[in-house]
Amino acid sequence: MRKRIGALALAALCAGVTAPAQQVPVEEVVLDNGMTLLLLPRPGDPNVAAGWVAKVGSVHERPGITGVAHLFEHMMFKGTAAIGTRNIEQDLQIIAQLDEVKAALRVEEAALLEAQRLGRIDDAGDPAHRTEGHQALMDRFEALLAQQEELLIPEDFSRIYSGQGASGMNAGTSYDFTLYFVNVPANKLELWFWMESDRLLNPVFREFYAERDVVHEERRLRTDSTPTGKFEEQFNSLFWQSSPYSWPVIGWPSDLEGITRAEALEFFDLYYAPNNLTAALVGDFDPDEAKALAERYFGRLSRGDRPPPQPRTREMPQLSEKRMHAYAETNPQVVVRYHSVPDGHVDEPALVVLGQLLNGRTGRFYRALVEDQGVATRASGGQSGFKFEGMFELRGVAAEGHTPEEVEQALYAEMERLKTEPVDERELQKVKNQNAASNFRQLQGNFFLMYSMLMREAYRGWETLNTDPPLYDAVTADDIMRVAGTYFEPENRTVAIYYREASDEAPDPRLAGLDPEEQQQVRQLEAMIGQLNAEQLGQFIAQFEQMSSQAPPESQDMVAVVLELLRERQAAEEGGR
């Protein structure tokens, strides 16, 4: 085991001037199997924010298995040989039989897909086209699922945690990483080490085929049933020509239907090996005890046979503008994307600061498009640096009596100013101060600090929490002009124009003050909230309330609406008991 001490810089503000960074020590421990542990003790709080990140997301997939990284986020909560089942031997026998029947079903399904391809049938999924043998296999498969259902202990993983006082257990999958987290009482730290190491060492991916249907439903709620979800997915694929960022994290429907358990297990063995994982603890704990527990539990995991493969295909240079027009149940608006740079590129700090100049009530877009010209009700812009690629996106919602095209041209005019007119030093310093203050607030809470450490570890390393702030503070007016002239050219952009489509549904008055993107996010959360049971709902509320205090001012209206929906659902649950 080797270890190293680093430092995490936290910015503070005093009278509007950036104060010297306060150093907070982080201890990094690397186990013999390659797994990394980040330790940040904070005495006083009786809880520990605990999590781990697998450096794998949808960009590590390939056509045919898109969505498998997100599917694994679901499967990792299905338990182990010791958790989630009343009889592991029978459970494993049924899983083997399910795999056998599913292999036979794939032969039948392939024949129907070929018939559909040749135009002999309209829908390969129509039960009317099944043979007797195909239907018999379907019946056998459903019977096995029913047998397995009798053995399962639903939500066992969550039940064990919550029964010991833990809260906020959840996970998330992105393009570049998958992150798992929970808040545990300080005296239950060993439980966390055992639970998390056990689901890595002894996973049982039970309910694999049923969970694919759950993901299908999630896709329906997030994408198919939202006003602009399907169009945004299409726009994303239009923007990325060759990069794996072109497919959605949740995956394409045909891949979700076709992924086999063997393919999924191969993916797991490659990317969930300990040498591709980092864990982090922030809170009241003894570092020596944590290191001993890490050795005892995570040390049991075997290093992967080979380094996890990284994406090979990179985005081709865009040679001409691309455009998309769509009609949706949303306010008329425009979205403009430019190809930019990935996380850590030397131009990224200038692009991030440029985006901050545009945003907020005192930002350039609001002053010009909303207050002065009156063509928009809201406008924003910003840099998104992923691990292997990057983009800069502009958005604007048309005011009543104005068109998205007017908003588009007004956005371009402001971007042209940045190419030719140096930013005033006072305006630039104000943005830097706001950025420092935001960083300071976000890193005060244990949960956000743990999450930030792991997210950055998935990119260039947790140390960037310390090394990046000086880079943003060093951005000059000349840097802003240089990157504006480099990336914001017509041939480098992709544009989506949304026109309003009539709807018979009465609008929700709670959403009236939110922009279309926020309204869509709230609708997605509302659909997800409706799927939670009472225990999950309580955990989600605790987690969301903790996160909401750190949300930026411009997002507080949306946060308030979500909290109202959560409390309404909780009251309904309690009233129904």
What is the span of the domain harbouring residue 205?
31-85+154-310
Q: 81 and 92: one domain? A: no
Which CATH number covers residue 488? 3.30.830.10
pLDDT band at 391 (very low <50, low <70, confident <90, very high): very high
Average pLDDT, the chain: 88
Instruction: Choose the final residue of a domain: 151, 172, 204.
Output: 151
pLDDT band at 5 (very low <50, low <70, confident <90, very high): very low
pLDDT band at 512 (very low <50, low <70, confident <90, very high): low
pLDDT band at 417 (very low <50, low <70, confident <90, very high): very high
pLDDT for position 228: 87
pLDDT for position 504: 53
> Residues 186-238: pLDDT tens digits?
999 999 999 999 999 999 988 888 888 888 888 888 888 888 889 999 999 99
pLDDT at 20 over 50: no
Number of H helices, E strands in the chain: 20, 14
Domain count for the chain: 4
pLDDT at 321 over 60: yes
Output DSSP code: residue 18: E
Q: How far is CA 225 from CA 185, 327, 332, in A?
A: 39, 15, 19
pLDDT for position 489: 97
pLDDT band at 147 (very low <50, low <70, confident <90, very high): very high
> Do the beta carbons of residue 56 and residue 268 sit within 8 Å?
no
Does some domain include residue 454?
Answer: yes
Question: What's the average model confidence in pLDDT over 368-382?
Answer: 95
pLDDT for position 503: 57
Angle value at C-alpha 509, between 504 and 514, nearest 5 degrees: 105
Q: 229 and 306: one domain? A: yes
pLDDT at 507 over 70: no
> Residues 54-98: pLDDT tens digits?
999 999 999 999 999 999 999 999 999 999 999 999 999 999 999
Instruction: Choose the final residue of a domain: 500, 533, 559.
Output: 500
Q: 262 and 381: one domain? A: no
Instruction: List the end-to-end C-alpha distance of the chain, in Å, as a whole number.
Output: 52
Name which of 149-163, 529-543, 551-565 the model is least confident about.
Answer: 529-543
Instruction: Choose the final residue of a domain: 310, 338, 370.
Output: 310
Q: 485 and 376: one domain? A: yes
Q: 241 and 358: one domain? A: no
Q: Are strands 376-385 and 178-185 parallel, antiparallel or unpaired?
A: unpaired
